[in-house]
Amino acid sequence: MYFVDLNCDMGESFGAYKIGRDADVVPYVSSVNIACGFHAGDPDVMAKTVKLAAENGVGIGAHPGLPDLVGFGRRNMNITPNEAKNAVLYQIGALDAFCAAVGVKLCHVKPHGALYNMAAKNSELAAAICEAILEYGKNLTLLALANSEMTSQAKKLGLRYASEVFADRAYEDDGTLVARSKPGAVITDENEAVERVVSMIKTHKVKSINNREIEISPDSVCVHGDNEKALLFVKKIRSALEKEGIAVRSIADAVSE
């Protein structure tokens, strides 16, 4: 039987600025990644989003990013591995405090944006992120790009991890994500996104932006909450998975050892 986690980035509003349709999307996913105040979110938004996730019974993860509210954490920074480790540790602790306040468990950690993409290629940065999660000591799972340095370092260090694929992002030939600055980086056709997701789960393969076949093993599928079609995407993907007999389970049940 096929099964997969369906996750979405949430809690990315800030002050008076609203991003995403969290309340509408959360019933269709099994896990959420909540911004921790560095790239997006604030204490009020974090508290509200944790409560929303708890009420819907979905797995809760920290979504630590670079300290870049203006750039939404999507701009590369010259950050050292130790700086990245401490930034991730800080953000995990912040979100875990809100989880503790409502009596729910923090399940996983998924780096955000530029930090995620940088660590996918940089082994030292990837190792630092893994070390931060391990040192927090709460049996957390790393959610990271399939076949990346992050999953390699997690395996090396003995950290539980789940391999993530994307419904709405294009891939380079090496399995990394196409930079958002390039044409075709974001998939806007929901039918194409659905077909890709089902194919990735059943065949463990995906076509790159250059039409090259890439081997991939998805534990979790991401739909970006700030995508204007996020609700439509996640509804269609969830429906297609159910029709294909693919069970949707939280990251806790879809972990690679």
Mean pLDDT for 125-139 is: 95
pLDDT classification of 20: cutoffs 50, 70, 90: confident
3-state DSSP call for residue 3? strand
What pLDDT is attached to residue 226?
63
Mean pLDDT for 55-61 is: 97
- What percent of the chain has pLDDT above 90? 75
Q: Are 211 and 253 in contact (CB under 8 A)?
A: no
Read off the tokens for 94.
């912040």
pLDDT in tens, 136-193: 987 999 999 999 999 999 999 999 999 999 888 899 998 888 988 899 888 888 888 8
- What percent of the chain has pLDDT above 70? 96
Q: Would the CA dihedral through 123, 129, 135, 140 be positive or negative?
A: negative
- What DSSP line would sit under 78-110, residue for residue? ---HHHHHHHHHHHHHHHHHHHHHHT--EEEE-
| pLDDT higher at 75 or 168 | 75
| pLDDT higher at 29 or 257 | 29
Is residue 228 predicted with pLDDT exceeding 80?
A: no
Say how many residues make up the chain: 257
What pLDDT is attached to residue 230?
75
> How many other CB atoms are there within 10 angstroms of residue 135's CB atom?
11
Read off the tokens for 206.
């995906």
Read off the tokens for 174.
């090496």
What pLDDT is attached to residue 257?
43
Closest-CA residue to 191 (of 228, 227, 226, 240): 240
**CA–CA gap between residue 218 and residue 255 (Å, rounded):** 10
**CA–CA gap between residue 116 and residue 62 (Å, rounded):** 13
Average pLDDT value over all residues in the chain: 92
Mean pLDDT for 224-247 is: 83
| Class at the top of the CATH hierarchy for domain 3-253 | alpha beta
Q: How far apart are the first and last CA of the chain?
A: 19
pLDDT classification of 111: cutoffs 50, 70, 90: very high
- Listed by start position, the domains of the chain span 3-253
- What DSSP line would sit under 169-222, residue for residue? B-B-TTSSBPPTTSTT-B---HHHHHHHHHHHHHHSEEE-TTS-EEE---SEEE
Mean pLDDT for 112-139 is: 96
Angle, vertex CA 101, rays to CA 99 and CA 106, nearest 5: 15
Element (H, E) at 240: helix 230-243
pLDDT classification of 131: cutoffs 50, 70, 90: very high
What pLDDT is attached to residue 138?
78
